[in-house]
């Protein structure tokens, strides 16, 4: 089998999602757009499967007024995006404030379990990405929820043995009701480097899941 054929198969295997999951923030502009369009269904079609919405929390008040999103998608999930605190940006201070107020990302999800339908564990964007962090978060948070989502960041770089081992451990621990999102980082490099598609195919096989997630707007 040639390299081109392998890449073609990887791309086909990696691009058939069971759900489309836009990532939004709970701001007035986002709520206004969702209301104006009568939901998010106009942005997807039946071929893309179910419509999930991931809300990134950037302020403690963001857990309020989720109704507009809950009425416009099949499922609403909540992420406290600690990766936004790694570099100074317009959102880093707010996210850092929420984490500090609760003590940790895990403590946030534990204390707010009655207001969060499904938590999204996204971890940080280290280089290389440490998938062991997901195991730690999952073990802390999953006892408080019937279903947990993992938002696995994938770079277009070949997995190390350690990363593959950690992904195998994740596969062995997650439950049937848990969700896995694959978030491709540095998407601009994927057309030049097919490793991004290969990584997605590897994780698809590893976790036996086919969920994809769009990058933040």
Structural domains of the chain, count: 1
Q: pLDDT truncated to tens, each residue of the chain (217 aa)?
A: 222 333 334 444 444 456 677 788 877 777 777 776 555 555 555 455 677 888 999 988 888 878 778 777 778 899 999 999 987 878 889 999 999 999 999 999 999 999 999 999 998 887 788 899 999 999 999 999 999 999 998 887 778 899 889 988 998 999 989 998 888 776 555 555 555 455 555 555 555 554 444 444 4
183 found inside a domain:
yes
Query: Residue 39 sits in a domain of what CATH number?
Result: 3.20.20
- Please give the structure tokens belonging to residue 79: 């992420």
Q: What is the pTM of this model?
A: 0.75
Q: How buried is 86 (Cβ within 10 angstroms: 0-12 exposed, 13-18 middle, 19+ buried)?
A: exposed
In a domain, residue 155? The reply is: yes
Q: For residue 4, how many other CB atoms are within 10 A of its CB? A: 9
Decide if 180 is inside a domain.
yes
Reading the block at residue 48, the tokens are 């893309």
Q: Which two tokens stand for residue 192?
A: 């030049």
Structural domain span for residue 13? 3-207
How far apart CA 23 and CA 214 sit, in angstroms, is: 7
Contacts of 56 (CB under 8 A, 6+ apart): 23, 24, 25, 79, 80, 81, 84, 216
Is the residue at 214 inside a domain?
no
Query: Is 215 among the domain residues?
Result: no
| Residue 29 belongs to a domain | yes
């Amino acid at each position: 089998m040639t390299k081109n054929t392998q890449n073609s198969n990887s791309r086909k295997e990696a691009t058939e999602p069971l759900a489309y999951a836009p990532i939004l923030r709970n701001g007035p502009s986002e709520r206004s757009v969702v209301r104006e369009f009568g939901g998010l269904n106009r942005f997807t079609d039946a071929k893309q499967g179910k419509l999930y919405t991931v809300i990134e929390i950037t302020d403690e008040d963001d857990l309020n007024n989720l109704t507009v999103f809950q009425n416009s998608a099949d499922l609403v999930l909540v992420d406290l995006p600690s990766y936004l605190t790694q570099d100074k940006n317009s959102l880093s201070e707010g996210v850092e404030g929420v984490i500090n107020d609760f003590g940790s990302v895990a403590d946030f999800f534990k204390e707010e379990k009655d207001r969060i339908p499904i938590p999204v564990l996204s971890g940080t964007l280290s280089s290389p990405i440490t998938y062991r962090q997901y195991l730690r978060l999952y073990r802390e948070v999953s006892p408080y929820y019937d279903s947990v989502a993992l938002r696995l960041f994938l770079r277009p770089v070949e997995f190390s043995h350690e990363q593959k081992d950690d992904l195998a451990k994740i596969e062995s621990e997650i439950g049937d009701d848990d969700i896995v999102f694959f978030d491709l980082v540095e998407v601009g490099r994927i057309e030049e480097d097919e490793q991004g598609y290969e990584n997605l195919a590897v994780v698809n096989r590893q976790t036996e899941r086919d969920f994809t997630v769009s990058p933040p707007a």
